[in-house]
Structure 1
Amino acid sequence: SGEKDIGLVNHYYIYRHLDKHPDAPIAIVLPDQNGMGVAWNVAGIAVSKYSKKPALAQKLVEFLISDEGQRVFAEVNREYPTRPGVAAAPQIPAAGSYKVADVPMSKLGSERSATLDLIEAVGMP
């Protein structure tokens, strides 16, 4: 019982903050929402057709999706790697240890306005 301050943030912000401030009174909670699972988002990369250096941009894409690039991404940013065999940072919950909401990526954009309305209605900044 009682009241607690909460915030909706990506997990990696919490873990990067805890890296610098291990005694900070913060923790991550992965709510199940009565079986719905936790919200998620993705990081992506692409080469713009307007790139002045598409070959160099493509090399960056290739590095970031490589085992080494995913290892750096996981260790430095506390993101989940997408490559099989590349380990996530040990601080973050293991993938598969919680349920992820089954929302098609194609709906994320169309649900944005309603989601922001709901966040505002419940009093979150």
Structure 2
Amino acid sequence: MNERRDTHPEHNGATRPVPLLADIAAEQTVLGTALMRSSTIGGLRDTVTAASFHRPAHADLWDFLATTYNAGNPVTAETAWARLSSTTGHPTIPGVDAGYLIQLLEHATAAAGIHAGRIRDLARLRVVHER
């Protein structure tokens, strides 16, 4: 799990590792698999929602993919880019361009369900941690 360093007054200014309650690689795997096989979205939408994703761009992309899939429209990297790029060719979701969609495809795996479960569990932990 990723970690960040944090100082705490009770530790006399010493740093200690604080777990980052996100798994960006798992998010990329789920999104890449959804782009590779749109039928995956149907199986994962009960496990994760846009709010489950830590990265805002990933949340926006999942929302777009799930909405597109639910409407019965094709979901591929090509169709996603065609719909996500504005008339000038710039992405409507900051940080999600054609190159990034290709990177996501490289993360696609048959084990997307496991990664979706991890994303869901970490989202729940973030909610508890924020209280």
**TM-score normalised by length of structure 2:** 0.30
User: Whose helix fraction is larger, Structure 1's or Structure 2's?
Assistant: 2
**TM-score normalised by length of structure 1:** 0.31
Q: Which has the larger radius of gyration?
A: 1
Higher RCO (C-alpha under 8 Å, 6+ residues apart): 2
User: Whose strand fraction is larger, Structure 1's or Structure 2's?
Assistant: 2
